[in-house]
């Protein structure tokens, strides 16, 4: 299995190199040279498997010769052993054909754990084999940071630096990152938005001398291995609901487009996913694009669903590359124009192709609170604000659906207790392992949105840990 960059100027490479590189040197994102596909009989043979086994078998299709199936079985078994639910990603029925796919039973209560608990182990496995050390840098709008830190804390060959927008995550989200005392972990609170944090991370990767010096690696969904590790939970849900002999739909709350892209990749592999519903909050660039081909960035506005407070959706580039017939030159031009002007003039034919598969939906804060309240009143289910956006999208766009709609429940309600309490009067408690989170000391550094200052902090962190090693 080989991987190519969406911008065409980076050399193709294998799975291990893509894992460690994250972003391509030309600024593009890696995708498989060709998509692995399964026949209906092959999909049927995966029904009923434990989640760790299903995950190993599907990810092996993307790892190629880099990892044996037995190696992957060991890594996935270890990654998911600590999840609080024996099914790892259980389905909960909310309506006649509405099913919440609960992705928040990992250590940090968010869907990012499903991929990152495996990714941390993949890094360790490959680095030990190569005798190398890396510095991971990542940007987070709330959940990726804590999941990445939990996956990488105390690992011998890894330093990790996470950037989050100061004051724009929930209190629980921030504390899950900043209370980790491990010496290989650094948190930077950037005075700006998530998009600013993401731009800083991308700028570090395209700064070739700095990238080589620090041996940078990525845990954001710009890293293809993150996407590959998310594909299995869509397969698990679809197979549980009758695929490949029954079509399903998927509703996902999304900001950076990575989670829904993993579902789309499952479709490319042969799963019968007929429709993707994309839920947005007031930061609705994806919904506007799908409705009217308006891909124009606006200032990021804080909301009750902060993980979706994003205007530059990195993973959209991967879909754009496919929509443009894998024309890397055209993709690079589109992305360059978007960066320069804040607008992306997607060709009409490509937009129409996207609209065949994806439908956007927008919900403001008042609507989000109303949906949390409705869900609890009618079903007894407590949903966090992001999940509520996805359930509202399913009800609005596929009412009385004859096919099952898989709703990505991306975070535990206890990560957003203020919003849940406002809507229902119930303040969801943290699980016992996190019960003392608000008493733990925090450790982070506030920095301006300045690449030089951020790189200096990253360099000092990595050098100190290397010297101590």
Angle between helices 224-240 and 112-130 (to 10 degrees): 130
Beta strands per DSSP E along 42-109: 91-95, 98-102
What are the Cα distances from residue 84, in Å, to 107, 145, 392, 396?
A: 8, 20, 27, 32
Cβ atoms 40, 245 nearer than 8 A: yes
Query: In 3-state terms, what secondary structure has residue 228?
Result: helix
Residue 112 annotated to the active site: yes
Rounded-to-integer distance, Cα 208 and Cα 215, Å = 10
CB 178: neighbour CB atoms within 10 A?
22
Rounded-to-integer distance, Cα 45 and Cα 38, Å = 10
Rounded-to-integer distance, Cα 143 and Cα 110, Å = 6
Closest-CA residue to 264 (of 230, 288, 241)? 230
Q: What count of Cα atoms within 13 Å lies in the side-chain half-sphere of residue 30?
A: 30
Rounded-to-integer distance, Cα 47 and Cα 463, Å = 48
Supply the Cα-derived Rg of the chain in whole angstroms: 21
Query: In 3-state terms, what secondary structure has residue 336?
Result: helix
Single out the catalytic residue among 112, 202, 267, 415.
112
Beta strands per DSSP E along 134-247: 134-139, 158-165, 185-190, 216-218
Q: Which residues are designated catalytic?
A: 112
């Amino acid at each position: 299995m080989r991987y190519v960059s969406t911008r065409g100027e980076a050399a193709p490479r294998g799975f291990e190199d893509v894992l460690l590189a994250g972003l391509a040197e030309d600024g593009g994102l890696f995708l498989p040279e060709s998509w692995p596909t399964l026949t209906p009989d092959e999909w049927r043979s995966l029904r009923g498997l434990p989640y760790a086994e299903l995950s190993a078998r599907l990810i092996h299709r993307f790892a190629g010769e880099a990892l044996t199936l037995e190696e992957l079985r060991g890594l996935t078994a270890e990654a998911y052993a600590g999840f609080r639910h024996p099914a790892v990603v259980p389905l909960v029925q909310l309506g006649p054909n509405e099913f919440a796919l609960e992705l928040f039973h990992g250590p940090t209560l968010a869907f990012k754990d499903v991929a990152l608990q495996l990714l941390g182990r993949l890094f360790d496995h490959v680095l030990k084999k190569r005798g190398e050390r890396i510095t991971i840098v990542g940007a987070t709008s709330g959940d990726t940071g804590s999941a990445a830190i939990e996956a990488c804390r105390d690992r011998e060959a890894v330093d990790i630096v996470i950037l989050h927008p100061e004051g724009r995550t929930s209190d629980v989200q921030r504390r899950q990152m900043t209370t980790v005392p491990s010496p290989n972990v650094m948190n930077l609170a950037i005075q700006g938005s998530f998009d600013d944090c993401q731009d800083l991370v991308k700028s570090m990767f395209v700064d070739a001398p700095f990238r080589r010096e620090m041996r940078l690696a990525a845990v954001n969904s710009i890293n293809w291995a993150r996407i590959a590790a998310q594909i299995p939970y869509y397969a698990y849900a679809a197979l549980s609901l009758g695929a490949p002999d029954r079509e399903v739909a998927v509703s996902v709350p999304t900001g950076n487009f990575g989670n829904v892209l993993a579902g789309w990749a499952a479709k490319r592999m042969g799963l019968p996913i007929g429709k993707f519903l994309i839920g947005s909050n007031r930061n609705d660039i994806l919904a506007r694009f799908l409705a009217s081909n308006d891909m124009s960035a606006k200032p990021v506005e804080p909301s009750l669903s902060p993980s979706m407070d994003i205007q530059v959706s990195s993973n959209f580039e991967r879909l754009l590359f496919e929509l443009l017939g894998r024309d890397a030159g055209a993709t690079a031009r589109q992305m360059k124009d978007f960066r320069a002007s804040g607008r992306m003039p997607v060709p009409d034919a490509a937009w129409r192709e996207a609209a065949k598969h994806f439908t956007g939906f927008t919900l403001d804060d008042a609507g989000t609170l109303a949906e949390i309240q409705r869900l609890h009143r009618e079903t007894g289910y407590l949903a966090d604000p992001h999940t509520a956006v996805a359930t509202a999208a399913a009800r609005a766009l596929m009412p009385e659906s004859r096919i099952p709609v898989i709703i990505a429940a991306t975070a535990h309600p206890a990560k957003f207790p203020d919003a849940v309490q406002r809507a229902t009067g119930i303040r969801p408690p943290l699980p016992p392992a996190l019960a003392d989170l608000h008493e733990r000391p925090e450790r982070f550094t506030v920095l301006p949105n300045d690449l030089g200052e951020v790189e200096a902090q990253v360099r000092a962190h990595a050098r100190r840990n290397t010297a101590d090693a």
